[in-house]
Structure 1
Amino acid sequence: MDLKILSGGAANGLVTALADAFRGAAGMGIAGDFGAVGVMRDRVLGGERLDAVILTRAILEQLAAGGHVDPASVRDVGRVSTATATRDGAPEPDVSSAEALRAALLAADAVYAPDTVRSTAGVHFAHVLDRLGAREAVAPKLREFPNGQTAMAAMAAGDDARPLGCTQITEILNTPGVRPLGDLPAGCGLVTTYSAGVLADAAQREAAETLIAILTAPENAAARRKAGFA
C-alpha cells in the first residue's frame, strides 16, 4: 500500500525527486495529489483518508488547531517565492520592477496563472494585477488553471508569441519547456513557507513521519534548493 498524501503544487518536484529515497526507507511508494492549497485543505476538511499533507504553514496550523493534523508532527520544508516565466524560445520581457512588470503584462498576448481564488500564487497574482491597475486589461488574455504546474505546462505547449506566466518558482522549475524570468519585483513579491504534517488519524503514521524526515533532512538541502525551496 502506498502512502497517501495531498500537497500544494509547490512541493511536487521535491517529492518526486526524493520518492526513491522514501521507497528505500519505507518500502512503499507515494500516492499523491498536487494542486491548489485551498482545494487540498478542503479535501482534508471533507474527511478524506490520508497519511500526510504538505501545504502552507498557515493552513497546516489551521488544520492542526482543528484536530485534523498532529501538531507535534509539523515540520517546515522551506520557503518558496512567487515568480514569472515564459515559454522556451519566446522573448524575455523586463520584469525587474513593478512598472516593467505592468508593461510586460500589457504587452503579453497570453498570461498564464493558477487558480486566482484557491491557489497561493494565483490569489497573490490577482492582488498584484489590482496593485498595478492591470486587471481589466489582462482579463481577456488571462488563462487560469487548477494549479501552477498545469498553467506552466499549458504555456509550454502553446504557440503564443509573447506569453507570460506567474506562479511559484518550484512549479516553474518542475515544468519542461518554460524558463523563469525572476521573482516578482519589489512591492509585488510573495514568499511562502511550506510545511508537512501527519494526519491525526493516519493509517501509516510511521511511513508519513519517514517522508517528512526525508523532505526536511539536512542532507537533502541540495535537493530542496534545486527544486526551488530556500
Structure 2
Amino acid sequence: MTSLKILSGGAARGLVASLAPTFKEQTGLAIEGEFGAVGAMAGKLRGGWPADIVVLTAALIADLARENLVTTGSISDIGRVETAIAVRTGDPLASVDDAASLREVLLGADAIFVPDTKASTAGIHVAKILQQLGIAEAVADRLRIYPNGATAMRHLAETDAVKPIGCTQSTEIIDTKGVKLSGSLPKGCDLSTIYTAAVATGAALARQAQTLIDLLTDSNRRELRTRAGFLDARKQLQS
C-alpha cells in the first residue's frame, strides 16, 4: 500500500496537508481520502469505507467508539475550532461583535455561503443561528449551500455577488485562497467544536495511522495547529 486512508471533517484538511510531507518522510506513505461534512464522513465509515484514520468531532468519535468502529485507545483530541465569518479577500471585514451586529451583517448580505445545513457542524449551527436571530425566512433565498465548508469558501472567493458573506469553521476559511477570516461568531451565537482523531477498527495500516495521530497532536507542533485555526482543546471557553 502506498497511502494512508483518511476520513475527516473538512476542518482538518489544512492541518493534515501541512503534516503530509513529514508523515511521508516517517512512513513512506501519502495521505489520501475524503474531507467533508462530519455527518457524511461518519456515514461513509459506517457504510464500510476502508479508512485507516478518522478525524471528526469529539462527539461523533465517541459514537463511533461505542459502535466499535474506532479503537478506544487511539482516541486523541487535536484542538478546538471556532465557527466564524468569512469575507472575500479585498472586501472590508464584517463587524460581528454581538448578536445585533451579526444579524445586521447577515441581513445586509446578498449571498451567504455556508456548508451543508443538515450534515456539517458549521452548517447545522448556521441554520440554528438564523432561527435564533429571527431571520431564517428573510435570508432563505440568499443562502448558497454546499456539501462542505471548503467548497462553500471556494465559491465565496469566486462569486460575483456585490456583498457576499460566508460562515463556516475558521480552519476552512484560513485554508482557502481568496477569502479571509473576519471574526468568530459573537457570544451567544458562537460555536467551538473539539476535533478528535482515532484509528479505525478495520484499519489496514493501524501503526501508521497512529503515527499521523501523534503528529496531529504533538505538543511541539502547537504553533502549527494554531496557524491552521486549532485552539487548545484543554482550555475552556471564556465565560
The whole-number CA distance in structure 2 between the counterparts of 1:174 and 1:213 is 22
Q: Which residue is 1:136 aligned to? A: 137
* Residue type at the aligned position of 2:164: P
How far off is 1:93 after superposition?
A: 2.8
Q: Which residue is 2:234 aligned to? A: none
Deviations 1:172-210 (A, max 9, x none): 000011111100011000000000000112100110000
How far off is 1:131 after superposition?
A: 0.4
The whole-number CA distance in structure 2 between the counterparts of 1:94 and 1:211 is 38
Q: Are 1:205 and 2:206 an aligned pair?
A: yes
The whole-number CA distance in structure 2 between the counterparts of 1:132 and 1:9 is 26
Structure 1: where are the runs of 5+ without partners?
none
The 3-state SS of whatever aligns with 2:5 is: strand
The whole-number CA distance in structure 1 between the counterparts of 2:144 and 2:19 is 31
TM-score (norm 1): 0.99
Structure 1 residues 1-230: aligned runs within 5 Å: 1-230=2-231
Count of aligned pairs between the two proteins: 230
TM-score (norm 2): 0.95
Q: Residue 39 of structure 1 contacts residue 118 of structure 1 at CA under 8 Å; is this kept in 2?
A: yes
The whole-number CA distance in structure 2 between the counterparts of 1:49 and 1:170 is 26
* Residue type at the aligned position of 2:180: R
The whole-number CA distance in structure 1 between the counterparts of 2:92 and 2:197 is 37
* Residue type at the aligned position of 1:123: I
The whole-number CA distance in structure 2 between the counterparts of 1:133 and 1:209 is 45
Structure 2: where are the runs of 5+ without partners?
232-239
Segments ≥4 residues shifted beyond 3 Å: none
